[in-house]
Amino acid sequence: MHEQSLFASVPVHQHHELLQQLAGLTAMQPRHCLERRLIFKAYRKPGLAGRIGASQDLQQGDLQRLNKMLNGNMYYTQVVGPVSEADFGPTGPVDQDIHMVGMDDSKPSPSSYDYERQPWKLEFRDIPEAGTRSAVTSRLMSSATLPQGDVVQSMNAWGYHFTTEYVVEGDMFIHNDIAIFLHRVLHYPGGNELNVPRRQLPALKDMTLFEKSGSYVLQAFIIVQDGSNQETMKTASQHLFGLREQLKSAVLLEQADRLSLDTRAK
Amino acid sequence: MSNLTQEQIKVLEQSRQRLVQLTRSLGSLIASLNQSDPLPPWTSLQSQASIISNNLISVSDQLSDQRDLLSNLVAYPGPEYPGRTQANTLEQLLRTKLDPRVEDWVARGRAAGTEPAAGPSSNLSSDPNSAHQLLSEAQLAELWEWAPLEANQEARRRNWGGNFTLEEREAGIENVVTGLRRKLEDDDESEEESDGEEGEEEGDGMDVVGVQRKPGSAELEFRIAPHQPHHVQPFVPLDLILRHMTTGRMP
């Protein structure tokens, strides 16, 4: 699958107005979304590269392909889990100590959030294609549903380790085949210096803004099932350009800087 | 009558110049109305109209200043005038009565000139439609009812902000006489850096009051457009936000 998108930065004072404009344009009410996003980074498993001797039964071509898969580019990948406002803790002092997790059952939980039943989706995005002639950000993507609950173990088994997590808050619109997501990044209070995902969520109003002025990112995207079909890819980017024209007086949708969306792990 | 003096020829020449200017500006207005598609923006129509009106004023000043001379002048063909070949022009020149069409215009103009003095609405007579027909009381009331709403809506379509108009800023804000003791800041500096495409700047500290007619009632509804007291441009550029979202790296 391919994702084609355009981005814009929306200053906070424009947010309310833009929501209304988008609601008018798409003839739908905004769908408020909250997502936990866990960032995982691939790491090279020691020993895989040198295991040539143990694979006599593999054909040479297979071996090369396997090697390429295992030792090729490594990527950052995201695990996304939808949450709701009720999942966040109540306002006021909440015990955020991660080590208290085992005692959750014995004491009343501050919120209804149940980490063990949190659904997750693995979302992979390649670095945007270089040198495309059209002025949209086009990148290979793929997503897969993961088992509920703790994903770190499975991710570790696949060669990814947990890097950091944040929450994305925003509103979603659908305009014909274009999804429009107006969102911003929230950080957990007290930083992210834990090396496992949180099992409890703090109060939503205690979350801190990543961008201190509270600005939003507007992303308009189309997901194309068959990225090799030039015709559909072209149609998709033309639809995005159409939207850009319609929103021109409000925001300027642009192609994102390719390197800022670089998911390759160095 | 004796020959014209240099002075008098100069006066005639001046009148001719002004009439030429008037015809030119009328011609250019007509041409722009006929040729440009879509119609030229109203600002350009407005400026052309004011040029024409200035021309008219100068012609009219000239005519009334030199009234004595002009009403005494008599045109007659000299012996060397090619009367045979230029008979049409000669007739035009020797004509003493006005063209019937022109006579109509003049009559209408005279009527319009005398009427406003009788009516209270003389301030509206600059409108060509009302020049020959006074607005009735009902029409006036309607106009007054319509105008504030319309003006308000027009005002809300604009960007308000800052203490100076664009013209004042272009001419240099040091020259503006505000009559105020405190110093007004030119707060537009930051706005100019921001993207002009956004066009969403609302006034700093200024509320644009919206006036609307409530449906089904005669009352007016006033509401104050919501706005942030300060415009905060994002500190972190989009690239860095996206990079952070992709890799979790802090900028």
| Mean of all residue pLDDT scores within chain A | 83
Q: Please, which pLDDT band fits residue A173 given cuts at 50, 70 and 90?
A: very high
Strand partners, A36: A81, A167
> Per-domain residue ranges for chain A?
2-265
pTM: 0.51
CB contact under 8 A, B235 and A211: yes
CB burial of A250-261 (b: ≥16 within 10 Å; e: otherwise) equals bbbbebbbbebb
| Mean of all residue pLDDT scores within chain B | 74
Letter for the amino acid at B88? N
> Per-domain residue ranges for chain B?
6-110
Q: Which residue in A has a C-alpha nearest to residue B195's C-alpha? A: A252
- At A109-143, the pLDDT tens digits run 456 788 888 999 999 998 898 877 778 999 999 88
Interface test with B, best of A75, A210, A258 (most B CBs within 10 A): A210
What's the burial of B114, exposed, middle or buried (CB within 10 Å: 0-12/13-18/19+)? exposed
- Residue A211 gets which letter from DSSP? S
- How much is the average pLDDT of B142-153? 87
Percent of chain A whose pLDDT exceeds 70: 80
Nearest residue, CB atoms, A212 vs list B199, B235, B247? B235
- At A39-75, the pLDDT tens digits run 999 886 544 554 555 555 556 677 676 666 666 678 8
Alpha carbons A173 and B184: distance in angstroms, whole number: 43
Chain B CB contacts of A213 under 8 Å are 232-235
| Cis before B38 (ω within 30) | yes
Q: Which residue in B has a C-alpha nearest to residue A162's C-alpha? A: B248
CB contact under 8 A, B233 and A11: yes
Q: Which residue in B has a C-alpha nearest to residue A13's C-alpha? A: B228
Identify the contact set of chain B against chain A, taking CB-CB distances under 8 A: 195, 197-200, 202, 226-228, 230-248
CB contact under 8 A, A261 and B243: yes
Strand partners, A120: A146
Q: Are the C-beta atoms of residues A137 and A7 closer than 8 Å to each other?
A: yes
Q: Please, which pLDDT band fits residue B231 given cuts at 50, 70 and 90?
A: low
Distance from CA of B158 to the nearest CA of A (A): 13
Chain A CB contacts of B233 under 8 Å are 11, 213, 215
CB contact under 8 A, B248 and A164: yes
Q: Which residue in A has a C-alpha nearest to residue B241's C-alpha? A: A211
Alpha carbons B11 and A61: distance in angstroms, whole number: 102
B2 vs A116, higher pLDDT: A116
CB contact under 8 A, B200 and A262: no
CA distances from A181 to A124, A185, A220, A223 (A): 18, 12, 6, 13
Alpha carbons A245 and A236: distance in angstroms, whole number: 14
> Which of the residue ranges A84-98, A117-131, B88-102, B159-173 would you say has the lowest mean pLDDT?
A84-98
- CATH of region B6-110: 1.20.58.1710
pLDDT reading at A224 higher than 90: yes
- At B18-27, the pLDDT tens digits run 999 999 999 9
Distance from CA of B106 to the nearest CA of A (A): 50
Picking from A107, A81, A86, the residue whose alpha carbon sits closest to that of residue A198 is A81
CB contact under 8 A, B246 and A212: no
Q: Which residue in A has a C-alpha nearest to residue B196's C-alpha? A: A249
CB contact under 8 A, A17 and B200: yes
Letter for the amino acid at B65? D
CB contact under 8 A, B200 and A37: no
CB contact under 8 A, B232 and A163: no
Q: Which CATH class is domain A2-265?
A: mainly beta
- How much is the average pLDDT of A86-108? 54
Q: Residue A66's pLDDT is what?
A: 65
Q: Residue A21's pLDDT is what?
A: 92
What ipTM score was computed for the predicted complex, to two decimals?
A: 0.81
pLDDT reading at A87 higher than 80: yes
- At A1-10, the pLDDT tens digits run 899 999 999 9
Q: How many CB pairs under 8 A join A and B?
A: 99
Chain B CB contacts of A262 under 8 Å are 243, 246-247
Q: Residue A103's pLDDT is what?
A: 44
Q: Which residue in A has a C-alpha nearest to residue B233's C-alpha? A: A11
CB contact under 8 A, B200 and A250: yes
Chain A CB contacts of B232 under 8 Å are 11-13, 213-215
pLDDT reading at B96 higher than 60: yes
Q: Residue B93's pLDDT is what?
A: 79
CA distances from A16 to A22, A90, B125 (A): 10, 26, 46
pLDDT reading at B247 higher than 50: yes
